[in-house]
């Protein structure tokens, strides 16, 4: 396939050729590097005019959402245009439990938020997953809107005012005393670059480990940690019987059903798991830097961007989802100097991408193999062109 793929494959081959301990060391090094990225502030990729830590948080959150939605769209083949609804349910459950009606600790509210979102997913999926694919798209879109309008208008969840003062995750070390006491165990300065010469920037410090309002980096670390956890879980489940059942269902639902796969059950499972990850990211978002959510944060457009992230990356590939999420969250912030033209360029990019990479940037291996096989069959049958071209 493409250059990207070939190079990745080559990298993967070299990686596999390494002895075991070296592989572990390499992975650890890479992960550490990713964790430190907002402090290293490498030139070129660091955003200006907007805090790089905040952008990295947004990227990690988007990647997490994309990995969750990838289960629904990529694995199970269900087009969900209302994913923001789950995100909102997670965020609002957290807000209600920790601030608006009760004062639970964040890590107590988090599992409840995930569970509530999962139940919401089952409740929505139970009746609607029986309808055909494209109908599902509009039903989920409607669901996202229903959630948004409901939280805008129901006083019990703060209506248009939203929910304020959602507590942050617990700190490690002494609590800070704003506006002057820093708290935490120690502070980590970040780097600033003059060309390629780094130096310490004392103005941008991150306190380990204080979830305050001043630095977004701890939140980034938290989301990144969850992302890594979810990736492990995703890998386990994808390679299990469940993953194969999803694949069978996606490729040919009737055939899968005939082979004894309870397709409805597996679709519902994918829907619920996807919802749970959406709820997790929503919950993390609610307790992030500002500790403030309001209905405006959950527009329909966000659902569309989520879907775009998954498909741009390559539906069905978890790394593709991460790349897609990263691009969708990062590019508009990196190129802020285009200000007014950001969305226009984004739209054009979305139009151009499918023409050149019709499977997304990083399609799953099996899709590539399947496509190659299909092309071979067509070739053998002597039909090189699409039916539409035969006039």
Within 327-346, the residues that bind another protein by CB under 8 A are 333, 335-337, 339-344, 346
Q: Which of 34, 159, 231, 248 binds another protein (CB under 8 A)?
A: 159
Neighbouring residues of 43: CB distance < 8 A, sequence distance ≥ 6: 193, 195, 196
By CB atoms closer than 10 A (0-12, 13-18, 19+), residue 303 is buried
Positions 281 through 320 that interact with another protein (CB under 8 A): 288-292, 294, 296-297, 300, 304, 307-308, 311-312, 315
Segment near another protein (CB under 8 A), from 41-49, 105-113, 231-239, 274-282? 41-49
Segment near another protein (CB under 8 A), from 89-97, 102-110, 111-119, 159-167? 159-167
Q: How many residues bind another protein (CB under 8 A)?
A: 96
Q: Is 213 in the site for another protein (CB under 8 A)?
A: yes
Positions 109 through 138 that interact with another protein (CB under 8 A): 127-128, 130-132, 134-135, 137-138
Q: How far is CA 86 from CA 92, 120, 272, 339, in A?
A: 10, 8, 10, 30
Write down the least CB distance from residue 106 to another protein, Å.
16
Q: Is 351 in the site for another protein (CB under 8 A)?
A: yes
Neighbouring residues of 338: CB distance < 8 A, sequence distance ≥ 6: 345
Which tokens in the block code for residue 9?
């494959």
> Is 322 or 329 the residue whose CB approaches another protein more closely?
329
Asked if 271 and 71 count as a contact pair (C-beta separation under 8 A), the reply is no
Taking Cα atoms as reference points, which of 188, 155, 161 lies closest to residue 292? 161
Positions 354 through 373 that interact with another protein (CB under 8 A): 354-355, 358-360
Asked if 253 and 93 count as a contact pair (C-beta separation under 8 A), the reply is no
> What single DSSP character describes residue 356?
H
Positions 74 through 93 that interact with another protein (CB under 8 A): 79
Asked if 80 and 274 count as a contact pair (C-beta separation under 8 A), the reply is yes
Q: Is 187 in the site for another protein (CB under 8 A)?
A: no
Q: Is 254 in the site for another protein (CB under 8 A)?
A: no
Tell me the H-state helices in 154-185.
Answer: none
Cis amide bond preceding 147, omega within 30: no
Q: Is 139 in the site for another protein (CB under 8 A)?
A: yes
Q: Is 73 in the site for another protein (CB under 8 A)?
A: yes
Write down the least CB distance from residue 71 to another protein, Å.
15
Q: Is 231 in the site for another protein (CB under 8 A)?
A: no
């Amino acid at each position: 396939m493409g250059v990207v793929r070939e190079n990745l494959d080559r990298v993967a081959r070299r990686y596999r050729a390494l002895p075991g301990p070296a592989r572990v060391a390499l992975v650890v090094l890479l992960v550490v590097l990713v964790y430190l990225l907002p402090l290293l502030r490498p030139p070129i990729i660091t955003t200006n005019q907007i805090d790089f830590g905040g952008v990295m948080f947004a990227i990690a959150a988007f990647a997490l959402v994309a990995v969750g939605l990838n289960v629904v769209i990529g694995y199970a083949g269900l087009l969900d245009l209302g994913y923001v609804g789950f995100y909102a349910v997670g965020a609002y459950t957290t807000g209600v439990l920790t601030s608006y009606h009760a004062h639970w600790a964040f890590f107590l509210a988090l599992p409840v938020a995930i569970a509530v979102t999962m139940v919401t997913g089952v409740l929505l999926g139970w009746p609607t997953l029986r309808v055909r694919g494209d109908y599902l798209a509009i039903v989920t879109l409607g669901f996202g809107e229903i959630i948004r309008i409901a939280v805008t208008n129901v006083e019990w969840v703060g209506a248009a005012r939203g929910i304020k003062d959602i507590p942050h995750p617990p700190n490690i070390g002494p609590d800070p005393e704003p506006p002057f006491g820093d708290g935490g165990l120690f502070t980590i300065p970040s780097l600033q670059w003059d060309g390629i010469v780094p130096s310490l920037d004392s103005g941008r410090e991150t306190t380990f480990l204080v979830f305050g309002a001043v630095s977004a980096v701890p939140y980034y670390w938290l989301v990144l940690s969850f992302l890594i956890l979810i990736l492990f879980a995703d890998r386990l489940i994808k390679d299990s019987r469940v993953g194969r059942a999803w694949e069978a269902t996606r490729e040919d639902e009737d055939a899968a059903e005939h082979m004894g796969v309870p397709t409805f059950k597996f679709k519902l499972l994918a829907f619920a798991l996807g919802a749970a990850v959406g709820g997790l990211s929503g919950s993390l978002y609610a307790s992030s830097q500002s500790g403030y959510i309001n209905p405006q944060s959950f527009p329909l457009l966000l659902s569309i961007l989520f879907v775009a992230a998954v498909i741009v990356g390559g539906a069905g590939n978890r790394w593709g989802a991460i790349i897609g999420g990263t691009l969708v969250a990062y590019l508009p912030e990196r190129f802020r100097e285009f200000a007014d033209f950001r969305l226009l360029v984004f739209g054009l990019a979305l139009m151009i991408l499918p023409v050149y990479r019709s499977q997304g940037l990083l399609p799953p291996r099996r899709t590539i193999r399947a496509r190659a096989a299909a092309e071979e069959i067509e070739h053998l049958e002597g039909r090189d062109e699409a039916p539409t071209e035969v006039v």
